[in-house]
Amino acid sequence: MTVSAHNPGLPPIIELNSVIKEFGSYRAVDKLSFTVAKGEIVALLGRTGAGKTTVLNLIMGTLAPDSGRVMVAGFDPFRQFSALKGKLAVSFQTDRLLPWRTAVENAELGLLIQGKPKDQARTIASGWLARVNLAGAENKYTHELSGGMRQRVSLARALAVDPELVLLDESFSQLDHVTSHELRQDFCAVAREYGKTCLLVTHRLDDAIEMADRVIVLGPGGHVKLELSLREAATDETVVGRTRSQIAAALGEDTGKQQQNEREE
Ligand X SMILES: Nc1ncnc2c1ncn2[C@@H]1O[C@H](COP(=O)(O)OP(=O)(O)OP(=O)(O)O)[C@@H](O)[C@H]1O
- Binding footprint of Mg ion on the chain (CB under 5 A): 52-53
Residue whose beta carbon is closest to Mg ion: 53
- Give the 3-state DSSP-derived string for 56-87, with helices as H, strands as E and coil as C: HHHHHCCCCCCEEEEEECCECCCCCHHHHCCC
Residues in contact with ligand X, counted by CB under 6 A, come to a total of 11
Report the nearest approach of Mg ion to the CB of residue 168 (Å). 11
Contacts of 167 (CB under 8 A, 6+ apart): 56, 59, 60, 88, 89, 90, 91, 198, 199, 200, 201
Q: Which does 203 bind (CB under 5 to 8 A by kind): Mg ion, ligand X, none?
A: ligand X
Encode burial over 54-78: b for 16+ CB neighbours within 10 A, e otherwise: bbbbbbbbebebeebebbbbebbbb
Q: What length does the chain have?
A: 265
Nearer to ligand X, 40 or 170 (CB): 170
Interface pick for ligand X out of 4, 35, 54, 180 (rule CB under 6 A): 54
48 binding ligand X? (CB under 6 A): yes
Nearer to ligand X, 54 or 180 (CB): 54
Q: Which does 54 bind (CB under 5 to 8 A by kind): ligand X, Mg ion, none?
A: ligand X
25 binding ligand X? (CB under 6 A): no
Binding mask 166-205 for ligand X (x = CB under 6 A): -------------------------------------x--
Nearer to ligand X, 58 or 71 (CB): 58
Nearer to ligand X, 75 or 92 (CB): 92
Nearer to ligand X, 53 or 142 (CB): 53
Positive or negative, the CA dihedral 176, 178, 182, 185 is positive
Encode burial over 210-243: b for 16+ CB neighbours within 10 A, e otherwise: bbbbbbbbbbebbbbbeebebeebeeeeeeeeeb
49 binding ligand X? (CB under 6 A): yes
Rounded to 10 degrees, what is the CA torsion of 245, 250, 256, 262? -120
Are residues 248 and 255 in contact, defined by beta-carbon separation less than 8 angstroms? yes
Nearer to ligand X, 53 or 180 (CB): 53
Report the nearest approach of ligand X to the CB of residue 58 (Å). 10
Nearer to ligand X, 50 or 155 (CB): 50
Q: Which does 45 bind (CB under 5 to 8 A by kind): Mg ion, ligand X, none?
A: none
Question: What is the DSSP secondary-structure string of 176-201?
Answer: -HHHHHHHHHHHHHHHHHTT-EEEEE
Report the nearest approach of ligand X to the CB of residue 46 (Å). 5
Report the nearest approach of Mg ion to the CB of residue 212 (Å). 17
CB atoms near residue 115 (< 10 Å) = 8
List residues binding ligand X (CB under 6 A).
23, 28, 46, 48-54, 203
